[in-house]
Structures are given as structure tokens and as C-alpha cells.
């Protein structure tokens, strides 16, 4: 035993268990084999910080969403790709509204949960691998903080190029981000400083997720200010046309494909 996790489908396992807890159907974690336990996503940062967040919110219906989620889905139009669909909460509402939507995710388990919850069109992969499938979109949604998938200065140009390759003329991207720089907590301000001294963006988090015995590999997840995001988009095929920060520190960034 090393204490190191087994690399596996953390999101898939935790969403499957969260669904089992919510529905009472299927095996789920029990205290003493009897009482249901809440399913907790463990997020480890590379400075040793560990946070836990209940996974149940990935299953939330629209009544429990934050206002910015509603504003984001209200702007979806045309053929829509829900990037990192998770348990499919966003895709389900769009489907209900008659918006043609596809959920994309790297987690086979997350896709299985989305399918069980009724999402009809699902793709396993990344925006890069999906280009070859030939499907093209008018709207890309990156919700649930999935602006993080831009990762940082290295990944952003390739990510934007893949989205441009998947885009129809006039397409839009709506991404939910968090501006991390309002904090005075020295744990976080020190982390931001260390990142910058290494040439990274301050909020370029290096994380791994854990659930039960499983863990992911370490990966970058971007938490940045709207200004930093504007810099990342500059020079790409996309234009940042709107930043809605009514629920600051959270914001919705809207990008449009340049003519």
C-alpha cells in the first residue's frame, strides 16, 4: 500500500454514486452498511490544499441552479454542444426546451449517468477528438466552472482552435468562470504568487480529484480574471464580446467566432 490512489474514472464513479443516493436505486456508500453517506468530491491542489464538495449538486434541477446558469442556458441557440456535460443537468433542460443538444465528456461513467437521466445525444471524448466526427455547432456551453478547461496559456490556443473547427459561422461560446483574485487568504494569494513566479497564470490550478480509492492524474484547471481570459482569447478565431459579472466573483464570458 502506497497511499497513492488508483487512477480511474473519478467523475464517473462519484456521479454514479450520487445518482444512487438521490434515487435510492443501486449500490451506494453506506455508513456501517446501513445509512447512506453523502458523496463527496475530493479536490487536491499541488500545494497540499485539500477541499471536499458534495457531488449532489451535479444532479440539481433548474430550481436549484444559480442565476448565471439560467442566463447561460437562455442564450443557447441552434445546435449546442455541452462541453463537459457531467450528469447532464444543462443538456436535460435544453432538450426539454427543444434545443438540439449534445453532451460531450471524457468520463465514460458521467456519460452513463447522463444517459440514464435521459440525455439522448452523448459523445465520449474531447473537443479535439470530436472534430473528426463531422458534427458542427452554433453554441458551445462550458458551465459548472468549465472555463477551467482552457487550462492556461499553453492549452488555450489549441482549445479555441478545436472549438473553431467544430463551429458553424456565427457560433458562440458561453463559459462560466470564477475570478479568484478577490481573496486575502494568504494560502491562496501565496499560491497565486508562486504560480506567477513559475510563469503560470495566478489561478492556474494544478489539481487531482479523488473519490474512494480512485484518483485522476494531475491536471491544470484555469481560474482566472476576465482580463486574463481576454488575453488568452486575443489572436484566436474568437472575439470576447461580453462578460456578465452580475454574480461576481462568478462570470459568464461570451465569445463569438470572428467573421
DSSP 48-106: S-EEEEEGGGGG--GGGS-HHHHHHHHT--SSEEEET-TT-HHHHHHHHTT--EEEEES
What is the size of the binding site for ligand SAM (CB under 6 A)?
Answer: 19
92 to 111, contacts with ligand SAM by CB under 6 A?
104-107, 110
| Binding residue (CB under 6 A) for ligand SAM from 14, 18, 21, 58 | 58
Cα–Cα distance, 189 to 181 (Å, whole number): 8
Closest residue (Cβ) to ligand SAM? 144
Task: Collapse the DSSP code of 34 into the 3-class scheme (helix H, G, I; strand E, B; otherwise coil) and give the result.
Answer: coil
- Which lies closer to ligand SAM via its Cβ, residue 84 or residue 203? 84
Smallest distance from the beta carbon of 128 to ligand SAM, in angstroms?
A: 8
84 near ligand SAM, rule: CB under 6 A = yes
Considering the rule CB under 6 A, would residue 73 count as an interface residue with ligand SAM? no
Q: Could you say which of 5, 11, 220, 224 contacts ligand SAM (CB under 6 A)?
A: 11
* Cβ 126 to ligand SAM shortest distance, Å: 4
Q: Which is nearer to ligand SAM, 89 or 188 (CB)?
A: 89
- Exposed, middle or buried by CB within 10 Å (0-12, 13-18, 19+), for 3? exposed
Closest to ligand SAM by CB, 43 vs 243, is 43
d(CA 45, CA 59) in angstroms, rounded, equals 25
Residue 149 found at the interface with ligand SAM (CB under 6 A): yes
SS3 42: strand
How buried is residue 106: exposed, middle or buried, by Cβ count under 10 Å (0-12/13-18/19+)?
Answer: middle
Torsion sign over Cα 25, 30, 32, 33: positive
188 lines the binding site for ligand SAM (CB under 6 A): no
Binding site for ligand SAM (CB under 6 A): 11, 58, 83-86, 89-90, 104-107, 110, 126, 143-146, 149
Amino acid at each position: 500500500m502506497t497511499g497513492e490512489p488508483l487512477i480511474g474514472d473519478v467523475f464517473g464513479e462519484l456521479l454514479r454514486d450520487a445518482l444512487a443516493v438521490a434515487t435510492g436505486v443501486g449500490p451506494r456508500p453506506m455508513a456501517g452498511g446501513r445509512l447512506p453517506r453523502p458523496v463527496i468530491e475530493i479536490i487536491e491542489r499541488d500545494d497540499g490544499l485539500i477541499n471536499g464538495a458534495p457531488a449532489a449538486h451535479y444532479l440539481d434541477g433548474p430550481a436549484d441552479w444559480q442565476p448565471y446558469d439560467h442566463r447561460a442556458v437562455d442564450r443557447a441557440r441552434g445546435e449546442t454542444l455541452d462541453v463537459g456535460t457531467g450528469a447532464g443537468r444543462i443538456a436535460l433542460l435544453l432538450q426539454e426546451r427543444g434545443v438540439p443538444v449534445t453532451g460531450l465528456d471524457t468520463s465514460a461513467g458521467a456519460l452513463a449517468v447522463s444517459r440514464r437521466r435521459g440525455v439522448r445525444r452523448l459523445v465520449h471524448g474531447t473537443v479535439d477528438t470530436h472534430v473528426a466526427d463531422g458534427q458542427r455547432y452554433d453554441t458551445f456551453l462550458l458551465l459548472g466552472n468549465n472555463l477551467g478547461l482552457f487550462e492556461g496559456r499553453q492549452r488555450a490556443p489549441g482549445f479555441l482552435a478545436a472549438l473553431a473547427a467544430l463551429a458553424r459561422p456565427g457560433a458562440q461560446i458561453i463559459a462560466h468562470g470564477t475570478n479568484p483574485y478577490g481573496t486575502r487568504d494568504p494560502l491562496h494569494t501565496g499560491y497565486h504568487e508562486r504560480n506567477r513566479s513559475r510563469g503560470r497564470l495566478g489561478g492556474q490550478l494544478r489539481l487531482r480529484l479523488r473519490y474512494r480509492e480512485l484518483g485522476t492524474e494531475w491536471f491544470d484547471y484555469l481560474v482566472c480574471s476576465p482580463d486574463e481570459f481576454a488575453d488568452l482569447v486575443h489572436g484566436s478565431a474568437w472575439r470576447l464580446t461580453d462578460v456578465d459579472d452580475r454574480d461576481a466573483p462568478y462570470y459568464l464570458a461570451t465569445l463569438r467566432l470572428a467573421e
